[in-house]
Amino acid sequence: MSNTRRPLIVGNWKMNGLRAEAASLAGALAEKMKEQGATTFDMLLCPPATIIDAVGKAIAESGLSLGGQDCHANQTGAHTGDISASMLADLNCGYGIVGHSERRTDHDESDAVVKAKAEAALAAGLVAIVCVGETEEQRDAGNTMGVVAGQIAGSLPESASASNLVVAYEPVWAIGTGRTPVSAEVQEVHAMIRQKISELIGESDAAQVRLLYGGSVKPRNANELMSLADVDGALVGGACLNPDDFWAIAQSCP
Ligand code: PGA
């Protein structure tokens, strides 16, 4: 973690949470933020769309940020069941996750689709959190670097800059499994991602883009992961549903 990039800790609630959790989980984190006062990290909650508004109310005035888990490539139109980036912005979201591997797999989202969604997020004034990561098969075949480099080249929006882009590296095989790459591998992939971003948007912006690691981040491994030079925060799934665990992960930011 560098001392010029402010760490970002993101809670991806996935398809978990009814209105009661908005009050209990988000409320507990809001209390912790208020108690701590000034923090050395930014914390972002990405609840399901149905309770974004309720979570927003529970975290009002706490310093916590709000984001969506996905958005459509268009801002309006005949897309039954979809949610647009401008709808997220309308709910006071500042961020939108795009290209999570569960979306890429469950909804067949290609790099081109992810890129269009990221463009839509930027057009609505959101910071796009673009997710990339290799499958276990790709890793076993020795293709991690090539796969991730290809996703970066294909998924990043043209108008990306340090202020509107965050990239999350999430090895698919590490998500929800309790397994993580060894630290040296995480750092190696992150350094390569920063290099690729620099080729796309220039060195000075790339040096400021926050790169998150995601995939089985827990209080027990957060310290080591967050201390890596090119890791600027975490995208947390399972552990973000427990406010004490999620808070402990945030506290591990140096
Ligand atoms: P996990 O999920 O922390 O449960 O592994 C991370 C993610 O999918 O963003």
The protein residue whose alpha carbon is closest to atom 7 in ligand 1 is: 237
The protein residue whose alpha carbon is closest to atom 9 in ligand 1 is: 237
Ligand 1 center from residue 54 Cα (angstroms): 23
Question: Relative to the CA of 174, which ligand 1 atom is closest?
Answer: 5
Give how far Cα 248 sits from Cα of 7, 98, 113, 216, 240, Å: 14, 26, 35, 14, 10
Domain for residue 13, yes or no? Answer: no
Domain for residue 245, yes or no? Answer: no
Domain for residue 22, yes or no? Answer: no
Ligand 1 center from residue 79 Cα (angstroms): 27
Domain for residue 37, yes or no? Answer: no
Question: Relative to the CA of 215, which ligand 1 atom is closest?
Answer: 5
Ligand 1 center from residue 77 Cα (angstroms): 31
The closest of 244, 231, 228 to 7, measured between CA atoms, is 231
Ligand 1 center from residue 100 Cα (angstroms): 10
Ligand 1 center from residue 15 Cα (angstroms): 12
Residue of 45, 98, 236 best suited for mutating to test ligand 1, as the one with most atoms within 8 Å of CB? 236
Mean pLDDT of 36-63: 96
Question: Relative to the CA of 239, which ligand 1 atom is closest?
Answer: 3
Domain for residue 80, yes or no? Answer: yes
Whole-number pLDDT of residue 190? 98
Give CA angle at 215 (211, 220), nearest 5°.
100
Q: Which residues line ligand 1 (CB under 6 A)?
A: 12, 170, 175-176, 214-217, 235-239
DSSP output for 161-230: -TTTEEEEE--GGGTTTS----HHHHHHHHHHHHHHHHHHH-HHHHHHSEEEEESS--HHHHHHHHTSTT
CA 234 to chain centre: 7
Judge whether residue 254 has pLDDT over 90.
no
Which two structure tokens, joined as six digits, stand for 248? 């402990």
More confident residue, 1 or 253: 253
Domain for residue 19, yes or no? Answer: no
Which two structure tokens, joined as six digits, stand for 168? 């999350």
Give the total number of structural domains in the chain: 1
Mean pLDDT of 132-146: 98
Q: Which long-range contacts (CB under 8 A, 24 or more apart) does 25-32 make?
A: 25/241, 25/243, 26/54, 26/55, 26/58, 26/59, 26/64, 27/58, 27/59, 28/243, 29/59, 29/62, 29/64, 29/243, 29/246, 29/247, 30/58, 30/59, 30/60, 30/62, 30/64, 31/62, 32/243, 32/247
Q: What is the mean pLDDT of the chain?
A: 97
Catalytic residues: 100, 170
Question: Relative to the CA of 217, which ligand 1 atom is closest?
Answer: 3
Write the pLDDT tens digit of every residue in 227-236.
999 999 999 9
Domain for residue 210, yes or no? Answer: yes
Judge whether residue 244 has pLDDT over 80.
yes
Domain for residue 51, yes or no? Answer: yes
pTM value is 0.97
Mean pLDDT of 164-188: 98
Judge whether residue 37 has pLDDT over 90.
no
For 142, the domain range is: 44-234
CATH number, domain of 69, equals: 3.20.20.70
Q: What percent of the chain has pLDDT over 70?
A: 100
Mean pLDDT of 143-149: 98
Judge whether residue 1 has pLDDT over 90.
no
